Chains A and B, each alone.
Chain A
Amino acid sequence: MKRLRTLLLLALCAAPALHAAAFDDAMKAVAAHNDAAALPLFEKALNEDPDSLPFSNEYRRAVIRTKEYDRAIDFYGKLTAAHPQAPFAWLNYGYTYVDKIPDAGSITQVILANNALTNFSKSIELKKSWIALYTRGNSYLYWPKIFGRAPLGVADLEAAVAMAKAEVKKRKVYVRAWIALGDGYWKTEQAEKAKATWREGLQLFPGDPQLQARLARDGEELEKYIYDQLDPNKRVDTNLAPLWEE
């Protein structure tokens, strides 16, 4: 619980940094639809505040729009080398690989996904945050069954759900952990646990459409739905703004 609070505090405390001049200029460039000009400004801001989730988030969104994935991967490589103790820099380093996956070929996707996991793990080593545990756990679920990574995902997601449960205020974003944990149980052939997890999630987050969609399906229809959700060719939503926008 304390860790989760720390994470949220960190995220929220990043707000003052939003006034960093470079970040402000970057956002102006984004507003002017000039992502190419925004990228170096975001990088400058991140060099000043490498662990800022909002800075990284806006930077990666611009990277996705411009498809400058390799530039971002190179940037985070240097940023984490310069700031090896910055957990959220590592986390966003991982996200940068994830962001590139839908635009890559099927074998490169595997390489990118593996690189992402390496960086998520580094982030967790430094700080066992809810967002990092959820992210790594969810990432494991995208791997085909044959690679046997789903149980690792379940372990991470159980930890993420436990952290969220311990939190007094149930932030909407936590529902993702219940969704993913259910998917993890389903993928590890624990269908009843999956449904129980989704039901529990729905009690805590009434009306959540993703949980409702899963609980409304069964058998092959549910399988198709989940595989469709975990299709590596579809872009994964790595926008972290819900962490601090709520």
Chain B
Amino acid sequence: MRIFLFSLLLAAVPLAAQEAKPSPPIRFEEISEKAGARLMHHTRVFHGKGADVLGMFTSGGASVAVGDFDGDGDDDLFVTDSDAGKPCHLLRNEFHPTGKLTFTDVTREAGVDGGNDPKSIVADAVWLDADNDGRRDLLVARFGTPILYRNLGNGKFKDVSKEAGLTKFGNTIAAIAFDYDNDGRLDLLLGNYFPPVNLIDLPTPHVLPNNLDDAVNGGGVTLWHNVTAPGSGKIRFVEVTEKAGLAGHTGWTLDLGHGDLNNDGWQDIYLADDYGTDRLYLNNGDGTFRDATKQALGGLDTKKGMNVDIADYDRDGWLDVYVTNITDEYMKECNMLWHNNGDGTFTDLSKETGTCNTLWGWAAKFGDFDNDGWEDLFAVDGLRSASKENYIPVLLEMIITPNIDFTDVNNWPAIGKMSWSGYQRKKLFRNLGTQAFKEMAAEAGIDNDLDGRGIALADFDDDGHLDIYQTNANQNSLLYHNVSASAGHWIELKLIGTKSNRDAIGARATLKAGGGVMIREVNGGNGYAGQSTARLHFGLGKAAAIDSLEIRWPSGRIEKVTVPIDKVTTIKEGAGVVK
């Protein structure tokens, strides 16, 4: 009897709790281990003088790229590692055909494990169909020369970097693939952090920023034009940085984002730079860009730009830009949510919208996690979680030393086992649709305190909900399965270019439903250390049907299509819905 009563009591507790606290609108479950997707990242260990400082400055490298490499209809994962000899990982999603969300490590057979050789460090990766053969190739960006793996279509890849002309050294930390000249081939923009010296074999100790708020001695960017001859099977790039008007940028580029910011049909770019001076370049449509930073953003910032993601968060038909910076115990920078005013100018509304503070920010991505029709925002943070001893006061002594040369590795104090802005809780901002966001990471079960770096969003199991893969420096990665109760219907679009690049990167879908308008663009790796799915995901909120859906392809072609709701639909340029 007693046991029975006790059982009743136990059963009543969760019921009472449920009644008292309604289920949150967004909810995730962490399933990386169960799904076979948990991977440990290792930052590069340096040796010799300045090793400790260089290790601290290169504590990135934990990145993830989502792409369907085997063409089976589900999104796979490429996850990078960074220490010498450590392999990167290609995880094949087994959802098609098993119906189970599990991953198999197929790195070795695919031949994409390399990159962390003694003098190179893997830092980022991006999927792109560089030769428009219908198979996504893989670019691995490094502190070193990049590696381009051509997808052979039989589960194997071939390193074609040299033939492709990608032999220039750079300390590349970010890479995006997009078609800047709309010629139907995907180009590459590489963001370089340090100036182009090999950090593992230092020719000089003067390799660090010359100013901690306005540095101009970084690696800038390099733009690679894809000149692959159609059908040749030989991928080829040529560098056009100077020709395109980007050579003057010498900041410490940490992330890159592209999107059509002025609705003229050409892809523009935003560069997030650490130690100051983000840049916005508008595409002139003739193979060149113009620096519009001062006019568009009102001047040059001094913040630590860490991430760029681009989306129309307020559904006004203009793409906005979200940049994470550092808001911490001593740097009170606040992030920047650049609201696109539609007249060539942007206004930072991060404070007004409640998206200002993501501590020591890294990746942040827009996504409609509850399908209510409004794009939410997930952001990871945290630099280094170690002992209780804090590095900041030690660092301060160096910073305030009169006439100190910040560029000299030897002037920076060793960090040893100290923590620096570590153990920080992640932030999930739910878009309330009223120019305001509500932070609810804890409620959503996603407020881990790991040293986050990259994020990739994808619907890995075709259930209409965006899942999240999170990489962490020197720690295990996480896979958050979205188990939210849907606030509405949804659609997902796989776009295939024909005249346009086959990945349809840069294509824009405009959806009208329930009296509102939503736009999405396919992007080629926006956001720090993470490439999300190439599918376009729309939550429909209260709308029960779609009024209209229009695709604007990078070629300029505009197509109206009709698609079913709650389904993944494939649309081919010129042919409409094909699946």
Binding site for B on A (CB under 8 A): 104-108, 110-111, 114, 144-148, 231-233
* Given A147-B393, A232-B332, 12 additional A-B pairs, CB 8 A: A104-B302, A105-B212, A106-B302, A106-B304, A106-B326, A106-B331, A107-B212, A107-B213, A107-B331, A114-B400, A145-B329, A231-B332
Cα-based distance from A231 to B330 in the complex (angstroms): 11
Q: If the complex has contacts A105-B303, A108-B302, A114-B400, are A147 and B213 also in contact, measured as CB distance less than 8 A?
A: no
Chain B residue with minimal CB distance to A117?
A: B400
Which of A105, A110, A148 touches B330 (beta carbons < 8 Å)? A110
- Chain A binding surface, main DSSP class: helix
State how many angstroms separate the Cβ of A7 from the closest Cβ of chain B. Answer: 29
Cβ A105 vs Cβ B213 within 8 A: yes
Q: Does B276 lie at the interface of the complex (its beta carbon under 8 Å from any beta carbon of A)? A: yes
State how many angstroms separate the Cβ of B21 from the closest Cβ of chain A. Answer: 22
Cα-based distance from A146 to B420 in the complex (angstroms): 12
Chain B residue with minimal CB distance to A106?
A: B331
State how many angstroms separate the Cβ of A100 from the closest Cβ of chain B. Answer: 12
**Contacts of A111 on B, CB cut-off 8 Å?**
399-400
Q: Does B392 lie at the interface of the complex (its beta carbon under 8 Å from any beta carbon of A)? A: yes
Cα-based distance from A107 to B400 in the complex (angstroms): 10
Q: If the complex has contacts A146-B392, A147-B393, are A106 and B400 also in contact, measured as CB distance less than 8 A?
A: no
State how many angstroms separate the Cβ of A102 from the closest Cβ of chain B. Answer: 11
Cβ A146 vs Cβ B390 within 8 A: yes
B 319-336 to A, binary, CB cutoff 8 A, 1 in contact else 0: 000000010011111000
**Contacts of B276 on A, CB cut-off 8 Å?**
105
Q: Does B442 lie at the interface of the complex (its beta carbon under 8 Å from any beta carbon of A)? A: no
**Contacts of A232 on B, CB cut-off 8 Å?**
332
**Contacts of B214 on A, CB cut-off 8 Å?**
105, 108
Cβ B329 vs Cβ A144 within 8 A: yes
Cα-based distance from A104 to B300 in the complex (angstroms): 11
**Contacts of A110 on B, CB cut-off 8 Å?**
330, 396, 399-400
State how many angstroms separate the Cβ of A53 from the closest Cβ of chain B. Answer: 27
State how many angstroms separate the Cβ of B90 from the closest Cβ of chain A. Answer: 39
Cβ A107 vs Cβ B329 within 8 A: no
Cβ B302 vs Cβ A105 within 8 A: yes
How many A-B Cβ pairs are below 8 Å?
A: 48
Q: Can you list 7 residue pairs at the A/B interface with Cβ under 8 Å?
A: A105-B213, A106-B331, A108-B213, A108-B302, A110-B396, A144-B330, A231-B332
Cβ A108 vs Cβ B330 within 8 A: no
Q: If the complex has contacts A105-B276, A107-B331, are A147 and B396 also in contact, measured as CB distance less than 8 A?
A: yes
**Contacts of B392 on A, CB cut-off 8 Å?**
146
Cα-based distance from A145 to B328 in the complex (angstroms): 12
Binding site for A on B (CB under 8 A): 211-214, 276, 302-304, 326, 329-333, 390, 392-393, 396, 399-400
State how many angstroms separate the Cβ of A224 from the closest Cβ of chain B. Answer: 13
Chain A residue with minimal CB distance to B392?
A: A146
Chain B residue with minimal CB distance to A227?
A: B332
Nearest 8 pairs between A and B by C-beta?
A105-B213, A105-B302, A106-B331, A107-B212, A114-B400, A144-B330, A108-B213, A146-B329
**Contacts of A231 on B, CB cut-off 8 Å?**
332
Cα-based distance from A231 to B399 in the complex (angstroms): 20
**Contacts of A106 on B, CB cut-off 8 Å?**
213, 302-304, 326, 330-333
**Contacts of B304 on A, CB cut-off 8 Å?**
106
Cβ B332 vs Cβ A107 within 8 A: no
Cα-based distance from A108 to B331 in the complex (angstroms): 10
Cα-based distance from A3 to B23 in the complex (angstroms): 66
State how many angstroms separate the Cβ of B278 from the closest Cβ of chain A. Answer: 12
Chain B residue with minimal CB distance to A145?
A: B329
**Contacts of B396 on A, CB cut-off 8 Å?**
110, 147
**Contacts of B393 on A, CB cut-off 8 Å?**
146-148
**Contacts of A114 on B, CB cut-off 8 Å?**
400
Q: If the complex has contacts A144-B330, A147-B393, are A107 and B303 also in contact, measured as CB distance less than 8 A?
A: no
**Contacts of A145 on B, CB cut-off 8 Å?**
329
**Contacts of B399 on A, CB cut-off 8 Å?**
107, 110-111
Chain A residue with minimal CB distance to B330?
A: A144
**Contacts of B333 on A, CB cut-off 8 Å?**
106
State how many angstroms separate the Cβ of A204 from the closest Cβ of chain B. Answer: 33
State how many angstroms separate the Cβ of B448 from the closest Cβ of chain A. Answer: 24
Chain B residue with minimal CB distance to A148?
A: B393
Cα-based distance from A102 to B95 in the complex (angstroms): 53
State how many angstroms separate the Cβ of A225 from the closest Cβ of chain B. Answer: 16
**Contacts of A107 on B, CB cut-off 8 Å?**
212-213, 331, 399
**Contacts of A105 on B, CB cut-off 8 Å?**
212-214, 276, 302-303
Cα-based distance from A108 to B333 in the complex (angstroms): 12
State how many angstroms separate the Cβ of A141 from the closest Cβ of chain B. Answer: 14
Chain A residue with minimal CB distance to B326?
A: A106
State how many angstroms separate the Cβ of A98 from the closest Cβ of chain B. Answer: 15
State how many angstroms separate the Cβ of A203 from the closest Cβ of chain B. Answer: 34
Cα-based distance from A110 to B406 in the complex (angstroms): 15
**Contacts of B332 on A, CB cut-off 8 Å?**
106, 231-233
State how many angstroms separate the Cβ of B359 from the closest Cβ of chain A. Answer: 13
State how many angstroms separate the Cβ of B265 from the closest Cβ of chain A. Answer: 36
Chain A residue with minimal CB distance to B277?
A: A105
State how many angstroms separate the Cβ of B272 from the closest Cβ of chain A. Answer: 15
**Contacts of B329 on A, CB cut-off 8 Å?**
144-146
**Contacts of B331 on A, CB cut-off 8 Å?**
106-107
Cα-based distance from A110 to B392 in the complex (angstroms): 12
Chain A residue with minimal CB distance to B400?
A: A114
**Contacts of B400 on A, CB cut-off 8 Å?**
110-111, 114
State how many angstroms separate the Cβ of A72 from the closest Cβ of chain B. Answer: 18
Chain B residue with minimal CB distance to A146?
A: B329
**Contacts of B326 on A, CB cut-off 8 Å?**
106
Cα-based distance from A148 to B303 in the complex (angstroms): 25
**Contacts of A144 on B, CB cut-off 8 Å?**
329-330
Cα-based distance from A111 to B212 in the complex (angstroms): 11
Chain A residue with minimal CB distance to B304?
A: A106
State how many angstroms separate the Cβ of B370 from the closest Cβ of chain A. Answer: 29
Cα-based distance from A144 to B327 in the complex (angstroms): 12
Chain B residue with minimal CB distance to A144?
A: B330
Cβ A108 vs Cβ B390 within 8 A: no
**Contacts of A146 on B, CB cut-off 8 Å?**
329-330, 390, 392-393
Cα-based distance from A104 to B400 in the complex (angstroms): 15
State how many angstroms separate the Cβ of B50 from the closest Cβ of chain A. Answer: 20
State how many angstroms separate the Cβ of A81 from the closest Cβ of chain B. Answer: 15
**Contacts of A104 on B, CB cut-off 8 Å?**
213, 302
**Contacts of B390 on A, CB cut-off 8 Å?**
146
